[in-house]
């Protein structure tokens, strides 16, 4: 099995294990999605040398991974009723009559790469490592300005954490900002940094930096009420002076939207259709682009042209089957006449497409 965060080389290790096992006449199976794959009896596949031929060039892991698949976590619901996580893993391991378990893993830590206008750094397929602080899967948001970067994420306990970079001082350490969260989206406008997070109960919370202090307090959050509950890691926000636009996916998979104006405060939530599991939004001028992951893992898009939602109030433009992405793994940046979309394929490889 593979667990933790995606990392280069996972497929190479899977291939080595399968080929070594075959040379000793051992049957090898792959457990899917880390330790979560040991919660049920059908989350595995048989692996032969033929199955792993050609996977060295594929990023991530062919088995899937989670970095919260913790065998010492709280009880979980299974097809046989509630079970202690670790007891259930041992139970399924014995039921499958396995002789050994090879655990391979990325570690859920932060990596970085950058385009300097001419090339990808530190290399086309390489990443810069930010140390051993472990993050929740899919819980990452970054804002930037010339000579400055602000990174927000959730550690594995669910606490919102923060680090920053300045051109003259380099990277800071990580700082804790409280909460128990499972999604984060951040914007900065007019000197105010606004942070929106999904709480344990699926509702929306907010905190903000006004240039001097965190509000409503260092480890406190403003609650947006119980009238809307969202899916984990399905939150995107865009901003302009005196305006905020929030997009999230409700528990039925529908894309939903609310906005804030300095003169009118917060609107209610509005449904925008679809059955989705990730959202990323970007705005330039009067146009707002929304990109979502559909049920089949492919990319869909809708946009606000300043007067109406296109291609229709509850319709989406389909980007085809060229990429099937992981849930909750989608990010977009844009400026006038240009869009840059980043996503993770099923093997965990970072992929990119752009519009000009």
pLDDT tens digits for 227-275?
Answer: 999 988 789 999 999 999 999 999 999 999 999 999 999 999 999 999 9
Return the higher-pLDDT residue of 194 and 84: 194
Q: In terms of C-beta density within 10 A (0-12 exposed, 13-18 middle, 19 or more buried), how is residue 116 classed?
A: exposed
Q: What is the pLDDT, as a whole number, of residue 34?
A: 87
CATH superfamily ID and name for 115-355:
Fucose-specific lectin (2.120.10.70)
Domain with CATH 3.40.50.450 in the chain: 2-105
Please tell me the least confidently modeled range out of 56-65, 83-92, 304-313, 340-349: 56-65
pLDDT of 7 strictly over 70: no
pLDDT value of position 169: 94
| Residue 277 token pair | 């599991």
Over residues 84-108, mean pLDDT? 88
pLDDT score of 345 more than 90: no
Is the per-residue pLDDT at 328 higher than 80? no
Averaged confidence pLDDT in the chain: 90
Tell me what pLDDT residue 307 has.
93
The pLDDT value given to residue 327: 77
Residue range 2-105 forms a domain whose CATH class is: alpha beta
Query: Where in the chain do CATH 2.120.10.70 domains reside?
Result: 115-355
CA separation, residue 246 to residues 64, 193, 271, 275 (Å): 30, 15, 12, 17
What's the pTM value of the predicted model, to 2 decimals? 0.76
Residue 167: which pLDDT band, with cuts at 50, 70 and 90?
A: very high
- Residue 178's pLDDT band (boundaries 50, 70, 90)? very high
Mean pLDDT (whole number) for 297-321: 94
3-state SS, residue 19: helix
Please state, in angstroms and rounded to a whole number, the distance separating the CA atoms of residues 356 and 350.
Answer: 20
pLDDT at 175: 94
Query: Does residue 133 have a pLDDT over 90?
Result: no
Q: How does residue 106 score in pLDDT terms, banded at 50, 70 and 90?
A: low
> Where is pLDDT greater, at 194 or 129?
194
- Pull the structure tokens for residue 173: 């350490």
Residue 220: the pLDDT is 94
> Residue 157: how many CB atoms within 10 A of its CB?
10
Looking at residue 72, its pLDDT comes to 65
What DSSP letter does each residue of 260-325 carry, written as one string?
EETTTEE---EE----EEEEEEEEETTEEEEEEEETTS-EEEEEE-SSSEES-TT--EE--SS--P
3-state SS assignment for residue 15? helix
Rounded-to-10 torsion of CA 347, 49, 88, 2 = -30
Residue 69 has pLDDT above 70, yes or no: no
The position carrying tokens 């995107």 is: 236
Dihedral sign from CA coordinates of 61, 64, 68, 74: negative
pLDDT of residue 57: 75
- At 338 the pLDDT is 93
Assess whether pLDDT exceeds 90 at residue 293.
yes
Which residues touch 175 (CB under 8 Å, ≥6 apart)? 161, 162, 163
**To which H or E segment does residue 94 belong?**
helix 85-95
Residue range 45-69: average pLDDT? Answer: 83
Q: What percent of the chain has pLDDT over 90?
A: 66
């Amino acid at each position: 099995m593979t667990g933790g965060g995606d990392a280069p080389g996972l497929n190479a290790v899977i291939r080595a294990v399968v080929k070594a096992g075959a040379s000793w006449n051992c049957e090898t199976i792959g457990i899917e999605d880390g330790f979560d794959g040991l919660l049920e009896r059908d989350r595995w596949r048989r692996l032969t040398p033929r199955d792993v031929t050609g996977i060295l060039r594929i990023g991530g892991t062919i088995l899937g991974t989670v970095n919260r698949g913790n065998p010492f976590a709280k009880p979980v619901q299974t097809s046989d009723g509630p079970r202690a996580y670790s007891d259930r893993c041992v139970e399924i391991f014995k039921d499958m009559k396995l002789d050994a378990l090879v655990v391979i893993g990325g570690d859920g830590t932060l990596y970085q790469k950058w385009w300097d206008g001419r090339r990808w750094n530190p290399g086309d397929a390489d990443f810069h490592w930010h140390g051993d602080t472990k993050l929740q899967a899919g819980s990452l948001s970054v804002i930037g300005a010339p000579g400055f970067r602000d990174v927000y994420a959730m550690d594995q306990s669910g606490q919102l954490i923060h680090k920053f970079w300045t051109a003259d001082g380099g990277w800071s350490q990580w700082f804790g900002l409280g909460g128990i969260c499972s999604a984060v989206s951040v914007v900065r406008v007019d000197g105010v940094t606004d942070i929106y997070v999904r709480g344990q109960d699926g509702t929306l919370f907010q905190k903000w930096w006004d240039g001097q202090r965190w509000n409503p307090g260092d480890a406190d959050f403003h609650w947006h009420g119980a009238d809307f509950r969202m899916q984990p890691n399905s939150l995107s926000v865009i901003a302009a002076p005196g305006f905020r636009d929030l997009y999230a996916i409700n528990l039925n998979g529908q894309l939903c939207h609310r906005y804030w104006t300095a003169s009118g405060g917060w609107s209610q939530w509005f449904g925008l259709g679809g059955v989705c599991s990730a959202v990323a939004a970007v705005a330039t001028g009067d146009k707002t682009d929304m990109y979502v992951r559909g049920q089949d893992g492919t990319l869909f898009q809708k946009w606000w042209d300043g007067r109406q939602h296109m291609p229709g109030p509850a319709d989406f433009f389909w980007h085809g089957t060229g990429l099937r992405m992981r849930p909750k793994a989608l990010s977009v940046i844009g400026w006038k006449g240009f869009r840059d979309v980043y996503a993770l394929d099923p093997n965990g490889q970072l992929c990119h497409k752009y519009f000009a």
